[in-house]
Amino acid sequence: MITSETAPIILVVDDIPANLDILGEVLKPYFRIYCATSGKKALAMVRKEPPPDLILLDVNMPEMDGFAVCRELKASARTRHIPVIFVTAMNETANEETGFAAGGVDYVTKPVCPPIVLARVRTHLQLYRHHQILEEKVRERTLELQQARDVAILGLSALSEKRDNETGDHINRTRHYVKTLAL
């Protein structure tokens, strides 16, 4: 069950407070909502713990537009995985292409349709969660494979040592050299 402490965090970024209110009302029953009124404020908020699970980002903002904010997010190893959905009045195909090239995962035009925004947010959060689960499984499997490799090398070196002490020592030294070089 999702509680207010476990609900996904959505950061809504728009320089117009009315737009923040509209999106906040649509999403608040299901998610924890944080708002920022500029790209720079959004970047500062993203650096805090816990980071948002998804960002709804306006494109037209003073000082730093949404495309620049998204590019900066995607340039950082800490924030590149956070899905960004652009929410903007810019409905030209070229703008959409720019948004996807900047690293956005979706593009919604204003005025927003609340059920569509909600559906897209839920879809991208679900994809994000699946991605996190897969990454964790890959990390676990990689660790298992590394441990199995180390056990196999130790077993082979012990076996060789039983036949000839110098061969076993040579294999152990080579194993240490290869491990050091691999790091």
The string of DSSP letters for 142-162 reads HHHHHHHHHHHHHHHHHHHHH
Let me know: does 70 contact 104? Beta carbons within 8 Å: yes
Q: Residues 108-119: pLDDT tens digits?
A: 999 999 999 999
State the helix-helix crossing angle for 17-27 and 114-163, rounded to 10 degrees: 70
Helix, strand or coil for residue 3?
Answer: coil
Give the H/E segment covering residue 36. strand 32-36
Q: What is the DSSP letter of 112?
A: P
Q: Residues 12-60: pLDDT tens digits?
A: 999 999 999 999 999 999 999 999 999 999 999 998 888 999 999 999 9
pTM of the shown model: 0.76
Helix, strand or coil for residue 72?
Answer: helix
